Amino acid sequence: MSKGLSLNLKKMFVIAAKDIKTYYGKPPSLFYGIVLPFALFGAFLAGRPCVTEEYRVVGVTVLSTFFGGTTIAAVILPLERRSGTIDRLILAPISFKTLLLGKSLAGFTFSFPITLLVLSIILPFTGFWNLNPLLLVISIALSVIFSCAFGLAFSASANDVADVMWPMNFVRFFMIFFSGVFMPIDEIYLFMPSLKFIAYLLPLTYSVDAVYQSIVGINDVVMLTVDFTVLIAVTIGLYYVAYRRFVKTLT
C-alpha cells in the first residue's frame, strides 16, 4: 500500500472515530437512525399482520440499514457546518473525498453492527431458512454503503439537520413503500401492474432483493448479480453527487 493511500485511510478512520464519539448520541441520530425504523416496522406489522415471516425479517433488516446509514451521514455534515467545525476539516491537509468517505464510514459503523445485532436476536426465533451468512453480510454491507452515500448526497451542502430530514424523509418513505420492503413487489402493484417499473427505478428494491435472497436462499443468480451491480453503480453516482455538492459550497 502506498504511503499516501495509507495516510488517507488513517485520516478517514480518524474522522470516523471522532464522529462516532461526537455524534452517535445526538437526538437526531438516535431518533431517525434507530427509533424511527423500528417504530415504522412495528406500525406496519400492526396494520398488515398477513405479511410473511421472511418479509418481516427482510423488512427490519433493510429498514435498519437504510435508516441507520442515511441518518448518520445526513446528520453529521449539517451539525458540523452549523458549529463551524467543518471548516477545521476543510482546512486540514486531506482531500474532500477522504473527508466524505470518513463521514460515511461513521454511518457504516453505526448501521452495520446494529443491523447484525438485530438479526442475531431475531433469526434464532424465526428459523434460518436457507440463510447464506457470507452473502447476507455482503448484502447488508453494500446496502449500508449505498445508504450512507444517499445520506451524504442529501446533506453535502446543508446547514441544518431539518433542511435535510424533511426532503430526505419524503424520498425515504416513498422508496420504502414502493420497493417491496414489507411484501413482494407483485403484491404492491397488484392493482396497477403497469406501474411496477417504478420499483425497478428505486435502488432500494435491489437492496431488498439481495437481502431476501441471502436470507431465504438464492433463487435468481442473475437478479442477485444485477442487485449488486446496481447498488455499486448507484453508490458511486451518489458519492459523486455528494462530492460535487460539497465542493460547490466553497464557491
Partner 1 sequence: MHSGSAGKAEAVEPRVAIEARNLTKRYGEFTAVNNLNLKVHEGEFFGLLGPNGAGKTTTVKMLTGLTKPTEGEALIMGANIMERPIDVKRIIGVVPEVSNIYVEMTAWENLIFAAELYDVSRDEAFERAKTLLEVFGLYERRHDKAANFSKGMRRRLAIAMALIHNPRVLFLDEPTSGLDVQSTRNIREVVRRLNRDGVTVFMTTHFIDEADNLCSRVGIINKGQLVALDTPEKLKQAIGERLSVEVSLQPMPSMEELKEVANDIMKTGDKFIIYTENPSTTLSELVKLASMKGWNIVSVRTLTPSLEDVFVKLTGLTAVDVERLELIRPSGRGRGRE
Binding interface with partner 1 (CB under 8 A):
7, 10-11, 14, 18, 21-22, 83-85, 87-95, 250-251
- When the beta carbons of 30 and 131 are compared against partner 1, the nearer one is 30
Distances (CA, A) of 142 to 151, 169, 199, 220: 14, 21, 19, 18
- When the beta carbons of 23 and 55 are compared against partner 1, the nearer one is 23
C-beta of 91: minimal distance to partner 1 in Å?
A: 5
Is 244 strand, coil or helix? Answer: helix
The answer to whether 213 and 184 are in contact (CB under 8 A) is no
- When the beta carbons of 46 and 250 are compared against partner 1, the nearer one is 250
- When the beta carbons of 83 and 126 are compared against partner 1, the nearer one is 83
C-beta of 6: minimal distance to partner 1 in Å?
A: 11
C-beta of 245: minimal distance to partner 1 in Å?
A: 14
- When the beta carbons of 81 and 172 are compared against partner 1, the nearer one is 81
* Gap between the terminal Cα atoms of the chain: 34
The answer to whether 111 and 68 are in contact (CB under 8 A) is yes
DSSP letters spanning 141-203:
HHHHHHHHHHHHHHHTT-S-HHHHHHHHHHHHHHHHHHTTSSS-HHHHTTT-GGGGHHHHHSH
- When the beta carbons of 22 and 169 are compared against partner 1, the nearer one is 22
C-beta of 1: minimal distance to partner 1 in Å?
A: 16
The answer to whether 224 and 210 are in contact (CB under 8 A) is yes
C-beta of 108: minimal distance to partner 1 in Å?
A: 20
Instruction: Give the helix/strand (H/E) hosting 34.
Output: none
Helices 203-216, 161-178: axis angle to 10 degrees equals 60
C-beta of 147: minimal distance to partner 1 in Å?
A: 24
